[in-house]
Structure 1
């Protein structure tokens, strides 16, 4: 393994300190591991000729060698080199999901370690984007270094969808993976763009992901409710999603619509699955059906997801245990974190039920010191468990600022204020959680006695909130009052004390029973008198 800061095997240092990739021979192989961006004068030939660029030919076996090398150089902390190695492999096997996720991990770590711009060598390697494969890989590279850019995310999804079916490439799962991350980026943008929603809708539909296509189209309609044409397209696409899931789009074909009508058991299953309120008999039937399908296709991820959903809906203790094991195995086999996340949700639900028992016992017996102590201890353990779960999620989805807000909230509750501050500074850019993030960011600063920072952040939160009389508005003003009062007492600052007094008076006028506002008002009035 190469130590941190060392050149990767088969690379040289340029004067600027960047590595330039050269052919690398792997153990047990005679062919060089050629990388993109080689000059035509290099002795070793490119893995793909110009003629092949026009008609890409894929080779998962050859791609695997690039992927293994990418893992090695990632572990050696040469993240940009790892990114190019992943992409080189995906040129030979663009549908490999583990490679896409590995590339994203390398790119994310590259950014986290201070990388802001790619080297000229890397950019040059992907400058020519004539064929569908290079267009896809180039779009991935562009997005990977600007991970919050919705336009670049949509472009990556578009190129993935257009590559679907080229020389047999099955890009359904990569397109879905990218589009699923692109959609929330559009929604979080300050000025969400309808055209991006439409492009994402079309990309998802091109690989048969009609559920995601409908969600994308719905967002576009919300952005522009006057676009009747788009609304009609979304409606038709929703119908197509229903038709496809039921098999009704094959009318006239052998085994098509007529076969579906005759297959009463299949119709019963579809009806059962669509019911919002399911009886115990229906839940049992769905599990039996899902179990049978799982026996026939034990490695099929959609089949596993269907069985897990049925087990969770029935929700017996043994169902949760089985669902957890299925999800963890699916995660280990596929490397897809969504299965690990679902498994974590099950563990959190189980722990939350136990916590509720402890809290109920303490509430019913408030004089029982042991019951109260047990409840406090159980709550602490649950928070720590939830914290570890969300740390894993943020690591897996580093661009999801909503997850960062949830993690920040847990860090704050456990008194980890430095960690909470860093997370809230990112999550405050999310319109959905902006005011909540500013509130907890200010409280974190206050807990660390960073008074000026707390005051400034409380003010920013009040400005963003607008409604000062709402619950969050009251909390922000109370927090600002506290920070100003502490500053006044420590620094003998009459101006700060006077502002704190006015805030206390305003809160008391509006809601005399709010927290301890009566006592705090008297204490601050006394402080003002002492400072005059």
Structure 2
């Protein structure tokens, strides 16, 4: 499949070069010349990718982007698809040495390419994408910045991270869109942040200002010679707005399906294009669209037995269930008197637990070197109360520095729930020692679990001391207040 894609890509580029040669040197734009030189690297990258030499292909793409930094269709987007295929093959994430080496850069371009290198090797790690966005915005590569912002936004919408992480992410998106004068997108990002913190007065004021700026830009008030000029430019303006709008209209979503389907019908039946079609169907956000997405992936997996399709299928099912849970949770808040809704929510949560368990078990089996899947599989095993199976997963996943503390916390929880309180205490203490930020959410979680372990091992004084310190910094944290009252009431 990849060979056929490369051959067709070659033909298209050869045709483009023939057209370019016909232009006189005086007519050529410097950007076009740079892009033409960059395409030699992009073409070579596609060829190398067919041999599964993904890391060399990544370097070639970056060499091309160094010449044409804003080459979205030829450079950034194909590199992103390559990263997803590489991930599907179970290739390793960037090493500690690579992360240290690539986290900085002297110029915005160097920062962007370094971040994109890390993102290519770990496409699900959103901080890398955010670094790409920051650098691209700073350098003025607006098409690239808009593209990566859309990826971040779509991921943030379905993220199961803490509210603080999601809030900060939407704020960064809002600021980036504002800097690019894309006020409609900035408004949407700001609204998402306000859904998390609805009582944030300054942010609400900023939303009002952004909405005013959006209205001014849409109507072009004060910048055109007349109202007729504004109306005359509306068609072109709407077209640009469709391209830039993070929340795409139904028409744009349907057009994305049409384009993705046409690639398949024209004979470009590659893994990348199949995944693109499935995503386009799923993004319609309709029951039929989601069914079509599942059908595309099931058929592709049946033909190829490529786990990449099964992995994406599991991700879609999880995403769909999380959307249903969020929607039902909002409905419960609006209709607290309805006794049937909590039962439906419980059923959906149980279904999500089962789907996640099945999904991450398969991912861990197909990507045995990916420690992130070991962690996620262990997390779902805890929910299934299969602690003996979960512990080895966390013992492995803690070898990843980014997962070390959370893995130790979950491992300690397994020992606690097994009734091995002394072992749990040891592990929680080690986890707390390894926690850099003692005021972080994970540090609070470890202290809370350590207190529970002390309480279970009949050491109420130590438990009470930890609960008290938690209450002094965050009184609303879980059931800390109730546990303190219970221990004091019972003279412990």
TM-score, normalization by structure 2: 0.52
Which deviates more, 423-432 or 294-303?
Answer: 294-303
In the alignment, which of 504, 515, 518 is matched to residue 484 of structure 2?
518
Aligned pair partner of 1:378 in 344, 348, 351:
348
Relative to structure 1, is the Cα distance of residues 189 and 448 closer, same or farther in structure 2, using a 3 angstrom cutoff?
farther
Q: Does 1:412 align with 2:412?
A: no
User: Does structure 2 conserve the Cα–Cα contact (< 8 Å) formed by 1:439 and 1:461?
Assistant: yes
Given the alignment, which residue of 460, 470, 478 partners 2:448? 478
Deviation at 1:524, TM superposition (A): 7.5
8 Å Cα contact 1:421/1:441 also seen in 2 = yes
Cα 1:451–1:320 change in 2 (3 A) is: same
From 258, 271, 276, the equivalent of 1:301 is 271
**Structure 1 match to 2:462:** 499
CA offsets, 1:432-478, max 9 Å, x none?
Answer: 33322222211111000111210011112211224434333222222
The match for 1:185 among 93, 97, 117 is 93
Residues 269/339 of structure 1: CA separation in 2 closer, same or farther (3 Å cut): farther
Residue 317 (1) aligns with residue 287 (2): yes
Aligned to 1:65: none
Cα distance between partner residues in 2 of 1:336 and 1:375? 34
1:399 aligns with 2:369: yes
When residues 400 and 273 of structure 1 are mapped into structure 2, their CA distance, relative to the original with a 3 A threshold, is farther
Alignment RMSD: 5.3
Mapped partners of 1:506, 1:210: distance in 2? 39
- C-alpha change, 1:327 and 1:472, in structure 2 (3 Å) is same
CA distances 1:178-204 after superposition (whole Å, capped 9, x unpaired): 588798622556974459x9xxxxxxx
What's the offset of the Cα at 1:213?
Answer: 9.1
What is the number of equivalent residue pairs in this alignment? Answer: 327
- Quick one: distance in 1 between partners of 2:244 and 2:278? 16
User: Is the contact made by 1:180 and 1:212 (CA closer than 8 Å) also made in structure 2?
Assistant: no
Tell me the CA shift for residue 421 of structure 1: 1.6
Distance 1:175 1:275, change over 3 A: closer
User: What secondary structure does 2:349 align onto?
Assistant: helix
1:120-170 CA distance string (max 9 Å, x none): xxxxxxxxxxxxxxxx8xxxxxxxxxxxxxxxx9699999xxxxxxxxxxx
Q: CA deviation at 1:382?
A: 2.2
Q: Which has the larger radius of gyration?
A: 1
**Conservation of the 8 A alpha-carbon contact between 1:461 and 1:476:** yes
- Which residue is equivalent to 2:359? 389
Contact 2:58-2:120 at 8 Å conserved across structures: no
- Describe the SS at the equivalent of 1:429: coil
The match for 2:309 among 332, 339, 344 is 339
The alignment status of 1:434 with 2:404, answered yes or no, reads yes
Offset of residue 384 of structure 1 = 0.9
Instruction: Name 1:74's counterpart in structure 2.
Output: none
Q: 1:180 to 1:289 in 2, by over 3 A?
A: closer
Aligned to 1:284: 254
Q: Where do 5+ consecutive residues of structure 1 fail to align? A: 1-93, 101-135, 137-152, 160-171, 198-204, 243-267, 490-495, 527-532
CA distance, structure 2, for counterparts of residue 177 and residue 342 of structure 1:
11
> In structure 1, how many angstroms separate the alpha carbons of the residues matched to 2:253 and 2:331?
32
Residue number among 445, 457, 464 corresponding to 2:434 in the alignment? 464
Contact 1:312 1:320 in 2 (8 A): yes
| Whole-angstrom CA distance in 2 between matches of 1:386 and 1:435 | 22
SS at match of 2:93: helix
Instruction: Measure the CA separation in 1 of the matches of 2:490 and 2:470.
Output: 13
1:358-402 deviation digits (Å, cap 9, x = unpaired): 65666635673x554443233212211221112112222222222
What is the deviation of 1:312? 2.6
Q: TM-score, normalised by structure 1?
A: 0.48
Shift of residue 321, structure 1, vs aligned partner: 1.4
In structure 2, runs of 5+ residues without a counterpart are 1-47, 61-78, 106-112, 149-237
**What is the CA distance between 1:330 and its match in structure 2?**
2.0
Indicate conservation of the 8 Å contact 1:298/1:304, yes or no: no
Q: In 2, distance between residues paired with 1:371 and 1:508?
A: 32
